[in-house]
Structure 1
Amino acid sequence: MAEVLIDSIPLKDPKPFTYRIPTALQGRIEVGSAVLVPFGNRKGVGGVVTGLTEEIKTEFEPKDILEVLSEGVLPSLMKPLLEWVAAYYSAPFSGVWLAAVPKGILKKKRKKKNKSNEPLELPPVLTPDQVKVLGQIEKNSKSLFLLHGVTGSGKTEIYLRAIGENLERGKQAIVLVPEIALTPQTVSRFRARFGERIAVLHSGLSGGERAEEWHRLRSGEADIAVGARSAVFAPLERLGLIIVDEEHESSYKQDSAPRYHARTVALKRASLEGATVILGSATPSLESYEAASRGEFALIELPRRINGRPLPPVEVIDMRQELREGNRNMFSRSLKKAVEGILERGEQAILLMNQRGYSRFVLCRACGQAVRCPRCAVSLTLHKGKSEYLICHYCGTRALSPSICPSCRSPKIRHFGVGTQQLEETCQELFPSARIARLDRDTTSRKGSHAQILDGFRDGESDILIGTQMVAKGLDFPRVSLVGVLAADLALNLPDFRAAERTFQLLTQVAGRAGRSEIPGAVIVQTYSPEHFSVQRAKEHDFEGFYHEEAESRRELSYPPFGKLINVVASGTTLESTQEAAESLAASLQRRGVMALGPAPAPLSLLKGRHRFQLLIKTEELESARQVLRESLSEQSSPKNIRFAVDVEPLNLL
């Protein structure tokens, strides 16, 4: 018998179906085989075998598999990895398979890719620091490396050289980047060195494009996979190297089931297949840096920028003082003067505002109520287009901006908080001669728009680039001499134990966009919390100092990396039944000796019309806690409207 996941038609609830393997196909079918099966009233649809079982009696007569279409979609040696992911993250195997394999891969016809005749780029001369790091990788007995290099120190060249040596040994490589948006820039850099040996895998591609790249890797036509999170499952049989660039980025963690972390999966895959892993970052995660301090990873460092360029000086502006001195503008006097200066000199600036939209919320000053989403426990964000409208950034609900309060009918409606749209509008007022571009989810929703905006900025078509955290990620513009951060403490106000770490990382990374060429750079950070240690350490470019201070508080509270977390969210259509289900699960865990914080209403207590209660398990023994949780969940007899979502090692508790 075979468990077959239907691939070529969309199903509301994807799950494996049981089929019989006929005598004629015995021995030809294995896990990963692409097969043709009858389904409903269809005579033949494509599917992938996800499991083999002994013949068992069922309530119905299983149908026969009709035909074997191709060799395994995934190399057979990857089956243990997928099984491990399913077990580790408490996810169904079929869900892991769907995350690993491009949707609709069986019904896409292969097209022969035209080979490029572009000459390959010659590698540059290495700096002494780069020579030292490559020597450490080559000679070290460890196969796991944490590359800690300041912004602009040449980490990408280390990746390129390591891949080149890997290819010379007949091996293949995976390069993970944290954002889909980064991929075109990364691909162009890698393709210049390795040509058509590169294949790209990320969800921003069409189904046909992704299936084509997948087949190129599976057939051996390409041997370097570059992509975002899911590229960790690239179908390579001779894997020798996995690179995780900007390894600290939270986008490596999938926020829907299966909730895997690509960095963790990369480490496990390398262990199973005997590959080397290089984790790279200017601001390593506490988890990775702590592992390096314990000797689990070899720590290799690039402490200086290329050509001895200095890291830019950072000026921290106390916006409380600006307000006391009568400045109510979102620009401090220092930042306004600095922008005027770069415009006069014909240079460029990047301005970071990590909140898209026009205003963060709309509030009635009579009754104090914010206009909230009817389906989620959050305020709606004001956006401006042809008209003013409110949008929920969680479920997409839209409404026209009201002229009177929906709660008390008062006309005293005001907009509060600032987003990228309002920042753009203010820049147009303050700097009327400036050419301004904006980079956020609203301006990059169309395919290719992200690359178009960045290419235009690189080519000098705009003077100021405004954006959310997207502008902090790995961008290299030689004419950028100023970076301004408005509302640097937005993340500090979130109920999240990682808030300080995320703030430090964001400030350090965006500061690294300035002064990357001959033009000296400067950074101005505006904040209402200038004394916070994450802001001060970022000002000093002091990762070590930040790490030790943050690690001390994490250790006291047994938060990662000094403890493990499992977050369980119960959701349902009624408040009472959801709370009862969460309390029942908590009681079951307690009977088995596992203590959980809660249950309590989740920070987002209502999401897409569903009430949510949260339990947080803190443990030093992840495997035993996971096993107890599985047992407790299996004994729950909750109403059909109740769902439990399990997030092992969550990055976000919101």
Structure 2
Amino acid sequence: MTETVGVHPLAGFDKLLHYKVPESLRAQLQVGSLVRIPIVNRFHLGIVAEFSAPKDFPVERCKPLAGLVYPFPALPPDLLRLAHWMSAYYAAGLDAIIEAMLPVAVRKAAALKQEKLLAPAVPPGLPGAPTDDEIAALAKRAPAQAKVFAFLLSQPRPVAKSLVLDRLTVTAAAINGLINRGWVREQTRRVERIAYDDAHSAGEHVAAQPHRLNSEQQAAVDVLTPLLSAAQPKFGVQLLFGVTGSGKTEVYLRAIQTALAAGGGVAFLVPEVALTPQTVARLRSRLEAIAPGHRCVVWHSHLSEGERLDGWLALATGEARVVVGARSAVFAPVQDLRLIVVDEEHEPAYKQDETPRYHGRDTAIMRAKLAGALCLLGSATPSLETWANASSGKYGLLKLTQRIDDRKLPFIDIVDMRVECMQQRGPATLSKRLVEGMRARISRGEQTILFINRRGYSSAMQCRKCGHVEECPHCSVSMTYHRADETLRCHLCGQQGNAPSRCPSCGAPDIKWRGTGTQRVEEAVRRVLPNARLERIDSDTMAKKHRFREILGDFRAGKIDILVGTQMIAKGLDFPNVTLVGLVDADLSMHVPDFRANERTFQLLVQVAGRSGRGDRAGEVVVQTFTPEAGAIQFSRHADFTGFAETEIKMRREFGYPPARHLLHHLFRGPNPEKLQFFAEQWKNRVAAALGEKVTLAGPAAAPIEKIKDEYRWQLWYFCNAPVTGIVAELGKLRADFAWPEDMVQVLDVDPVNLC
């Protein structure tokens, strides 16, 4: 080993620093080790990146490493290589990426949670144990000590010291007295915090025994098994394209079983934290049956720091070999990684909207490549980028065209709300067809899900007299009305105020609430079905940590008739007793300034429809729309993904949108819109001169939402005609040399999924 190492500091700046290696650390130090380093007069943590130093480097001037945090690498080699790739591809600093890979508790070198246990030093009846006479004498001299000792003798195993103090209402002095006498021994044990190992998991477990595969599932498993069981596994990507309810999860479970049997590790990614409990329950049930001792670690941002730390340690030490979680689970330190599953790979939730702005699916594919693992993507409505790669042969394609047990796909009923509003002589939240369907389900003991992708009661407050719309003072959007507490809220910046009874502009009392949200849908249902057992799921009702799982547990147990919710309930959840799904406003996702609007609408309709009829009874879907003739709605009616994809990709290629080319989004933010426009145009001219035909530029222009949190927003688009990494590198050099004003922030987003 060389005398010096290069370390990436976790100290808020992106620069490699070099340190001497003390003799005491040389045997344990590895690339990826988490070390303590001195910087100026403070100690920080850093990741060892290399065992070398620049030529003619003055080693004698180096400070020594201050210590090693863990005796194993905090970042395995494949993760360290992944960090470098992400830095180059996503135009992000290496320090920001490494911080995203490590839980906060690891970056703080947090101590493990421990508890003290008490037990008799010598079991009764063995030489050296206290005699009956000695115990009787103790009871007279020190009754509190005698009380503790008698309790410990009655316990079959060591007891937590905290429990003894609490239950017996004694002081620590009584326990210390017994320890000093040599009658009681005290030992320390690590306490492991296991996520989702609690009462809220009740009812989430599924059958531990494997289901019998149909012919299509078996064909998919037959392709995956040799890839996962090979002595020398190779990188590859397979797309499991299956209609909703076709049994993709069972194929995942068989693949995981094969990977574990071959000695490998597994990462299972889901797009939403909400899907994690169900996935964890399935995996834990199956692992307990087929591979006792295998642990499944949960990984997402809603866990406590302690839960994340304990899960990270279990994976880093090889104690656990399976991780399930949201997009950040792609960074879990799984040992001997052999399989990454990306469920519902099409979901925009896989894209991080803060630095580093990585895509969980694409990052998973690259990690699989660096680790020599298989990446299995799954969806009933694949992203068009993934579908293009599968159609071209770049990815393998596995198809599941039938639902399990040949169950029928739900019947989709399109309701023209233009006609409905005329028949009801005014705005209608719920169509007669949807109300009749809900009433029939309640009478039969079946369940209904209503989906509306907007929380709150109404999306805007408008005066009928002067037309005034109350907008957020800090953002260029209207305030959303929340009827539960009579407030107006901005869903972008959090601004909140009391809902006025009169127009703030002209004073007229004639106020109209426009648009529909989850609260208005809930109110409409309670009005027409007052005896229905109804619950609402959105981010407003989910403030309590376990509330989401509590509601899903009650719904699964049949304690709820109708569930109203936002996108949280549209993805991947499996409720066999749901036979009706209502999409209250199918137009919300379609009429937005985004070239992916049709794709998002089609995916949403098919995925929501897939929640219906997953049990023995046929399902129905009611789609309410003002544009029933739209292509996305008509294709979704027949679940015709192939037809939709062919039509949409043809249109995208005509205009050069992804998947025809990669797209980069450059956002400029600041307090002065005129200054933003000026510098954005100057920057565009600089890029056009430097990159020429490598990119096609569009803009600059004001963003669709022009102001958020008192910052104006302008944007510029780069359509890439050359490899992305090269363009990002050239843009990085240009950005470093450009004279940006101090009050202007600019953010580059590679492969953006949200254009607003």
Q: TM-score, normalised by structure 1?
A: 0.94
Q: Match for residue 215 of structure 2?
A: 128
- Is this contact kept in 1: 2:240–2:378, CA < 8 A? yes
1:372 pairs with one of 468, 471, 478: 471
**TM-fit CA distance, 1:304:** 0.5
- Is this contact kept in 2: 1:2–1:21, CA < 8 A? no
Q: Match for residue 614 of structure 1?
A: 715
> Which deviates more from structure 2 when the two are superposed, residues 566-575 or residues 359-368?
359-368
2:352 pairs with one of 247, 254, 273: 254
Q: Match for residue 201 of structure 2?
A: none
Q: Match for residue 173 of structure 1?
A: 266
CA distance in 2, matches of 1:545, 1:254: 30
CA distance in 2, matches of 1:361, 1:192: 46
Residue by residue over 1:196-254, the C-alpha shift from the partner in whole angstroms, topping out at 9 and shown as x without a partner, is 42111111101110011011000001001111001111112311111100011110110
1:211 pairs with one of 302, 309, 333: 309
CA separation of 1:376 and 1:64: change in aligned 2, threshold 3 A: farther
- Is this contact kept in 2: 1:147–1:281, CA < 8 A? yes
**TM-fit CA distance, 1:362:** 1.1
For residues 298-447 of structure 1, the aligned pairs below 5 Å read 298-328=396-426, 329-385=428-484, 387-447=485-545
**What one-letter code is carried by the residue in structure 2 that aligns with 1:337?**
E
1:627 corresponds to 2:627 = no
**TM-fit CA distance, 1:391:** 1.2
**TM-fit CA distance, 1:490:** 0.5
- Is this contact kept in 2: 1:6–1:16, CA < 8 A? no
1:144 corresponds to 2:244 = no
- Is this contact kept in 2: 1:585–1:632, CA < 8 A? no
**TM-fit CA distance, 1:112:** 4.6
Q: Match for residue 82 of structure 1?
A: 83
Q: Match for residue 622 of structure 2?
A: 524
Residue by residue over 1:69-98, the C-alpha shift from the partner in whole angstroms, topping out at 9 and shown as x without a partner, is 223211123211110011100110111111
Residue by residue over 1:257-277, the C-alpha shift from the partner in whole angstroms, topping out at 9 and shown as x without a partner, is 111001111111111111111
> Which deviates more from structure 2 when the two are superposed, residues 443-452 or residues 571-580?
571-580
CA distance in 2, matches of 1:531, 1:580: 42
Q: Match for residue 665 of structure 2?
A: 567
Q: Match for residue 648 of structure 1?
A: 750
**TM-fit CA distance, 1:417:** 0.5
**What one-letter code is carried by the residue in structure 2 that aligns with 1:54?**
A
CA distance in 1, matches of 2:89, 2:652: 23
**TM-fit CA distance, 1:166:** 0.8
CA distance in 2, matches of 1:354, 1:453: 18
Q: Match for residue 10 of structure 1?
A: none
**TM-fit CA distance, 1:336:** 1.1
1:536 pairs with one of 627, 634, 650: 634
CA distance in 1, matches of 2:465, 2:252: 58
The DSSP-based 3-state class of the residue aligned with 2:310 is: helix
The DSSP-based 3-state class of the residue aligned with 1:484 is: strand
> Which deviates more from structure 2 when the two are superposed, residues 401-410 or residues 289-298?
401-410
> Which deviates more from structure 2 when the two are superposed, residues 520-529 or residues 372-381?
372-381
CA distance in 1, matches of 2:662, 2:14: 30
Residue by residue over 1:466-503, the C-alpha shift from the partner in whole angstroms, topping out at 9 and shown as x without a partner, is 01121111111111111111111101111111111111
CA distance in 2, matches of 1:397, 1:40: 41
- Is this contact kept in 2: 1:598–1:614, CA < 8 A? yes
**TM-fit CA distance, 1:363:** 1.6
Q: Match for residue 551 of structure 1?
A: 649
**What one-letter code is carried by the residue in structure 1 that aligns with 2:78?**
L
Q: Match for residue 109 of structure 1?
A: 112
Residue by residue over 1:537-573, the C-alpha shift from the partner in whole angstroms, topping out at 9 and shown as x without a partner, is 1111111111111111111111111111000001112
**What one-letter code is carried by the residue in structure 2 that aligns with 1:637?**
A
CA distance in 2, matches of 1:97, 1:631: 22
- Is this contact kept in 2: 1:563–1:619, CA < 8 A? yes
**TM-fit CA distance, 1:283:** 0.7
**TM-fit CA distance, 1:113:** 3.9
CA distance in 1, matches of 2:608, 2:709: 33
Q: Match for residue 596 of structure 1?
A: 697
Q: TM-score, normalised by structure 2?
A: 0.81
CA separation of 1:6 and 1:144: change in aligned 2, threshold 3 A: closer
CA distance in 1, matches of 2:736, 2:670: 18
The DSSP-based 3-state class of the residue aligned with 1:492 is: coil
The DSSP-based 3-state class of the residue aligned with 1:363 is: strand
- Is this contact kept in 2: 1:589–1:628, CA < 8 A? no
- Is this contact kept in 2: 1:575–1:611, CA < 8 A? yes
**TM-fit CA distance, 1:47:** 4.3
**What one-letter code is carried by the residue in structure 1 that aligns with 2:361?**
R
**TM-fit CA distance, 1:426:** 1.1
Give every structure 1 segment of 4 or more consecutive aligned residues whose post-TM-superposition deviation is greater than 6 Å: 55-58
**What one-letter code is carried by the residue in structure 2 that aligns with 1:146?**
L
Residue by residue over 1:370-421, the C-alpha shift from the partner in whole angstroms, topping out at 9 and shown as x without a partner, is 2111111111111123x31111111111111123333444443321111001
CA distance in 1, matches of 2:679, 2:332: 39
CA distance in 2, matches of 1:638, 1:274: 42
Q: Match for residue 385 of structure 2?
A: 287
CA distance in 2, matches of 1:50, 1:615: 35
**TM-fit CA distance, 1:25:** 6.3
Query: How many pairs were matched up?
Result: 644
- Is this contact kept in 1: 2:105–2:308, CA < 8 A? no
**What one-letter code is carried by the residue in structure 1 that aligns with 2:700?**
P
CA separation of 1:120 and 1:400: change in aligned 2, threshold 3 A: closer
CA distance in 1, matches of 2:344, 2:516: 28
**TM-fit CA distance, 1:628:** 2.9
**TM-fit CA distance, 1:150:** 0.7
CA separation of 1:361 and 1:33: change in aligned 2, threshold 3 A: same
- Is this contact kept in 2: 1:46–1:107, CA < 8 A? no
The DSSP-based 3-state class of the residue aligned with 1:491 is: coil
The DSSP-based 3-state class of the residue aligned with 1:174 is: strand
CA distance in 1, matches of 2:86, 2:725: 13
> Which deviates more from structure 2 when the two are superposed, residues 325-334 or residues 353-362?
325-334
CA separation of 1:119 and 1:410: change in aligned 2, threshold 3 A: closer
1:155 pairs with one of 248, 273, 276: 248
The DSSP-based 3-state class of the residue aligned with 1:339 is: helix
Q: Match for residue 376 of structure 2?
A: 278
- Is this contact kept in 1: 2:10–2:99, CA < 8 A? no
**Whose Rg is larger?**
2
CA distance in 2, matches of 1:457, 1:133: 32
CA separation of 1:31 and 1:600: change in aligned 2, threshold 3 A: farther
1:5 corresponds to 2:34 = no
Q: Match for residue 706 of structure 2?
A: 605
Q: Match for residue 66 of structure 2?
A: 66
CA separation of 1:549 and 1:23: change in aligned 2, threshold 3 A: same
CA distance in 2, matches of 1:119, 1:135: 24
CA distance in 2, matches of 1:226, 1:252: 14
CA distance in 1, matches of 2:51, 2:513: 59
- Is this contact kept in 1: 2:193–2:306, CA < 8 A? no
Which ranges of structure 1 fall in alignment gaps of 5 or more residues? 8-12
The DSSP-based 3-state class of the residue aligned with 2:335 is: coil
CA distance in 2, matches of 1:532, 1:563: 26
